[in-house]
Structure 1
Amino acid sequence: MGIKLPPDQLALYKRIDEILYHDWDPIGVSGLGGPADEYYGYLPQVFKRALYADDPQEIAEYLTWVTVERMGVSPAKEHDLKIASQILASKRELIHGK
Structure 2
Amino acid sequence: MGQKLPPAQMDLYRRIDEILWREWDPIGVSEITEARDEYYGYLPTVFRLVLEGKEEDVIAQCLLSFEKERMGLAGNAENAKRVAGLVLREKVNLGV
Give TM class, smaller chain: over 0.9
Unaligned runs of 5+ in 1: none
Distance 2:46 2:54 in 1: 13
**1:69-84 equivalence runs, <5 A:** 69-84=69-84
User: 1:15 — aligned with what?
Assistant: 15
- Taking the aligned partners of 2:88 and 2:24, their CA distance within structure 1 comes to 14
Deviations 1:46-73 (A, max 9, x none): 0000111252011000000000000011
Aligned with 1:40: secondary structure?
coil
CA distance in 2, matches of 1:32, 1:7: 29
- Once the two structures are aligned, what percentage of the paired residues are identical? 47
Q: CA deviation at 1:34?
A: 4.4
Residues matched between the structures, number: 96
Runs of 4+ in 1 over 4 A off after TM superposition: none
Compute the RMSD of aligned alpha carbons.
1.4
Q: Could you tell me how far apart the structure 2 residues matched to 1:34 and 1:82 are?
A: 26
Query: Structure 1: how far apart are the matches of 2:34 and 2:21?
Result: 9
Distance in 1 separating the partners of 2:53 and 2:74 = 25
- 1:40-79 residue pairs with structure 2 within 5 A? 40-79=40-79
